[in-house]
Structure 1
Amino acid sequence: MDTCACALELLGMLVFLGAWLCALATTISPQWLTMSTALLPVESYELGLWETCVVQDVGGMECRAYDSLLGLSSDLKLARILMCASLAVGMLGMLVAIPGLYLVNSCHGGFRTKRTLTIMGGVLGMISGVLCLIPVSYMAHLAVIHFFDDKVPDVVPRWEFGDALFCGWAGGFLLIVAGLLLVTSCLCSQVEPQPVLQRRYQVMSTDVSFRKRSEYV
């Protein structure tokens, strides 16, 4: 395998790991949506998939988990399911792609098996990215609709984008990029590398044949 393909593999795995960590941080973060009111300027509220928090300007923060799973809205349930599925698929993609790396000698199936594992890991990474982008974009879409709803008076506070949404967009996009890098690395390595002993044997055979020809002449 050439140097370009190896570099793409390593870059793809590093981006894969960083993107998966971004998706994990997005899932556990309570800052999906934020809200601050003019009546209580010293306090702001944060909404996450697992808990809601009250943040004070003096530095205090109090979080409370949701009381019941059945009492959650369908939007939060869907976001939970998709984010957990994204993390599971992303982890599976990394576990599949690692044995297929050229620098890892744990796969005994040959070049084609390694290439198949790397492609599968890249495809799973792209699927994980799509699964991460769907709930993040959907929650942002709902926030935009509620923010510009004319039926709600202007004095009523509205939810706005939190830091977790931006982290989720970055994680989902990078997961897709990581999957594309892994697949591209396999497309760049079209020629199967020959074993070292086989190459040495070919060189020795060529040298011997050359010597015989020289002696004959």
Structure 2
Amino acid sequence: MLVYIGAWLCALATTISPQWLTMSTALLPVESYELGLWETCVVQDVGGMECRAYDSLLGLSSDLKLARILMCASLAVGMLGMLVAIPGLHLVNSCREHGGSQTKRTLTIKGGVLGVISGVLCLNPVSYMAHLAVIHFFDDKVPDVVPRWEFGDALFCGWAGGFLLIVAGLLLVTSCLCSQVEPQPVLQRRYQVMRTDVSFRKRSEYV
């Protein structure tokens, strides 16, 4: 679950970060440009940074629209997966009165599956934007003097977040499929032994 939460925070940082793609020009070496899902920024070497949000939603390219939709869907599915998986943890006692360990195991598996789906949804837009950057960077039709977009820090954060979401989901699913023992079998056996011992003493005293 800790890996799950950390991966979801990485996906959130990727979504709101403007550093999806970066570009620096030879004409203005003191300035670089950054492209994000919600805004574009101009960064100066002296430390200044100026960002501007996109003016129109309908005027965005289809790539940015698709990336926005998939990243928001990844965050929503990941949050739902965490809310479903937390009651299924062995440390949480909320479901023991309503179905026992079987209900907890089912909730944990569902949360893990949602985590895997969230990771896949996160990896798709990040990998697609990186693919477009590679295609445009090695395009022979574009002169060499023309600046090109390169990978930003948000892409690496998105890859890490999506991969960790998948890992966390698989860990939750496999931990439930491999564990077939009740959380408190030892206490139940001790209680049964104590009851048997008490009943045997009562019979001995009666005889």
Shorter-normalised TM range: over 0.9
Q: CA RMSD in A?
A: 2.3
CA distance in 2: counterparts of 1:74 and 1:26, whole angstroms: 19
1:117 deviates by 0.1
Deviations 1:14-66 (A, max 9, x none): 00000000000000000000000000000000000000000000000000000
Structure 2 length normalisation: TM-score?
A: 0.92
Q: Which residue of 2 aligns with 1:201?
A: 191
CA contact (8 A) 2:4 2:82 kept: yes
Deviations 1:152-171 (A, max 9, x none): 00000000000000000000
User: Is the deviation greater in 90-99 or in 194-203?
Assistant: 194-203
CA distance in 2: counterparts of 1:134 and 1:210, whole angstroms: 66
What are the residue-to-residue correspondences of 1:1-217 with 2, within 5 Å?
13-107=1-95, 108-194=98-184, 198-207=188-197
CA contact (8 A) 2:90 2:183 kept: no
* Runs of 5+ unmatched residues, structure 1: 1-12
1:104 deviates by 0.3
Structure 1 length normalisation: TM-score?
A: 0.88
User: Is the deviation greater in 206-215 or in 80-89?
Assistant: 206-215
Deviations 1:57-91 (A, max 9, x none): 00000000000000000000000000000000000
- Higher RCO (CA 8 Å, separation ≥ 6 residues): 1
1:215 deviates by 10
CA distance in 2: counterparts of 1:102 and 1:148, whole angstroms: 52
Deviations 1:120-165 (A, max 9, x none): 0000000000000000000000000000000000000000000000
Q: How many residues align?
A: 205
Q: Specify the SS of the correspondent of 1:118.
A: helix
1:189 deviates by 1.5
User: Is the deviation greater in 52-61 or in 198-207?
Assistant: 198-207
* Runs of 5+ unmatched residues, structure 2: none
Give identity over the alignment, percent. 96
Q: Specify the SS of the correspondent of 2:13.
A: helix
Q: Specify the SS of the correspondent of 1:210.
A: helix
1:106 deviates by 1.2
